[in-house]
């Protein structure tokens, strides 16, 4: 398994037919809703048109992927607020944008201008997907640092014990918990060489203690067991993670990389 963290996986994919193994590494609420084949007809021509456009796009992209030797499976297609631009979710891979005719695909940020703050049009679409994916996680497969007193917020953080900023963030875990924030760590080794240590942590009887030791630089004894490290890494790829730490709310909103306890609390409360 290759651990390539670039969000621009398309160029790599074109160079190889092994698309997955080589690179696996609102204004209008109706516009961001999923259109599916089973969606009931409303009698509105625009809805029917959008549904037909979705089906045509899926067929066209599937054919183009096959022609290019790309083994990418489309899971979902959603219209964006940008005319003739769709958000395409792929199995096991980050989402991408596609033009309505299926001729062009790209990854990156599409920013809406005109307001005081810039707005990434993919945010609500990606957050919706992230929320569902995070909701499928079993807390028993994570490392959970519970809030002290009443739990006000829950955050999910993709982490790696080799990451300096993960270490810096972890130094503030007690302060985060004191502010009513429950932290749930998800394994995301930044390279193949870091997998054994993360597996040692996740295979330990006391993951918290093992994580505390490993992120402080202590060497853990090798361990092997059935563990979720690789599946959690793949989850991060699906959500677009390309570095650690990566902090998400329960609603799937990406808050950023390293944040101090105060910054995190302010972001969550506001």
- Using the 3D structure, point to which of 88, 123, 158 is the last residue of a domain: 123
- Using the 3D structure, point to which of 123, 155, 183 is the last residue of a domain: 123
Residue 134 lies in a domain: no
Tokens 């201008």 correspond to what residue?
113
Q: What distances in angstroms separate CA 264 from CA 136, 166, 225, 251, one per listed residue?
A: 24, 14, 34, 15
Question: Are both 96 and 160 inside the same structural domain?
Answer: no
CA 62/CA 73 separation, integer angstroms: 8
- The number of distinct structural domains making up the chain is 2
Cα angle, residue 234 at apex, residues 180 and 136 outer, rounded to 5°: 50
Per-residue confidence (pLDDT) for residue 23, from 0 to 100: 31
Question: Are both 89 and 117 inside the same structural domain?
Answer: yes
CA 248/CA 78 separation, integer angstroms: 22
Tokens 């990451």 correspond to what residue?
163
Q: Give the residue numbers marked as catalytic.
A: 160, 163, 166, 190
Is the Cβ–Cβ distance between 143 and 207 less than 8 Å? yes
CA 24/CA 18 separation, integer angstroms: 10
Is the Cβ–Cβ distance between 199 and 232 less than 8 Å? no
Question: Are both 114 and 200 inside the same structural domain?
Answer: no
**Structural domain that includes position 188:** 139-269
77: which DSSP letter?
A: E
Residue 219 lies in a domain: yes
pTM for this prediction? 0.77
CA 262/CA 240 separation, integer angstroms: 25
Residue 5 lies in a domain: no
Q: Which of 166, 183, 145, 158 shows the shortest CA–CA distance to 265?
A: 183
Q: What is the CATH number of the domain that holds 217?
A: 3.40.30.10
Per-residue confidence (pLDDT) for residue 24, from 0 to 100: 32
Per-residue confidence (pLDDT) for residue 46, from 0 to 100: 52
Sites in the chain below the pLDDT cut of 50:
1-45
Burial of residue 117 (number of CB atoms within 10 Å: 0-12, 13-18, 19+): exposed
Residue 143 lies in a domain: yes
Is the Cβ–Cβ distance between 189 and 195 less than 8 Å? yes
Per-residue confidence (pLDDT) for residue 224, from 0 to 100: 87
Question: Are both 63 and 106 inside the same structural domain?
Answer: yes
Q: What distances in angstroms separate CA 16 from CA 12, 68, 126, one per listed residue?
A: 7, 9, 27
Question: Are both 144 and 44 inside the same structural domain?
Answer: no
Q: What is the CATH number of the domain that holds 60?
A: 3.10.450.70
């Amino acid at each position: 398994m290759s651990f390539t963290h670039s969000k621009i996986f398309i160029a790599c994919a074109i160079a190889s037919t092994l698309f997955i193994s080589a690179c696996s590494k609102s204004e209008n609420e109706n516009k961001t809703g999923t259109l599916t084949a089973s969606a009931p007809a409303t009698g509105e021509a625009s809805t029917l048109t959008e549904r037909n456009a979705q089906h045509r796009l899926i067929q066209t992209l599937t054919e183009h992927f096959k022609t290019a030797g790309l083994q990418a499976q489309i899971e979902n297609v959603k219209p964006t607020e940008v005319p003739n631009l769709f958000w395409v979710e792929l199995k096991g891979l980050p989402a991408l944008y596609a033009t309505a005719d299926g001729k062009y695909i790209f990854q990156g940020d599409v920013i809406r201008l005109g307001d005081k703050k810039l707005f990434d049009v993919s945010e609500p679409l990606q957050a919706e997907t992230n929320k569902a994916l995070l909701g499928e996680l079993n807390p028993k497969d994570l490392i959970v640092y519970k809030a002290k007193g009443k739990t006000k917020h829950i955050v999910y953080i993709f982490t790696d014990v080799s990451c300096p900023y993960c270490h810096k963030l972890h130094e503030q875990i007690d302060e985060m918990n004191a502010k009513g924030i429950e932290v749930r760590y998800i394994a995301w080794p930044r390279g193949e060489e870091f997998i054994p240590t993360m597996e040692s942590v996740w295979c330990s009887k006391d993951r918290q203690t093992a994580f505390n030791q490993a992120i402080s630089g202590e060497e853990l004894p090798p361990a092997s067991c059935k563990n979720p490290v690789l599946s959690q890494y793949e989850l991060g790829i699906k959500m677009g993670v390309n570095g650690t730490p990566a902090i998400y709310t329960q609603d799937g909103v990406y808050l950023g990389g390293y944040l101090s306890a105060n910054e995190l609390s302010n972001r969550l409360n506001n």
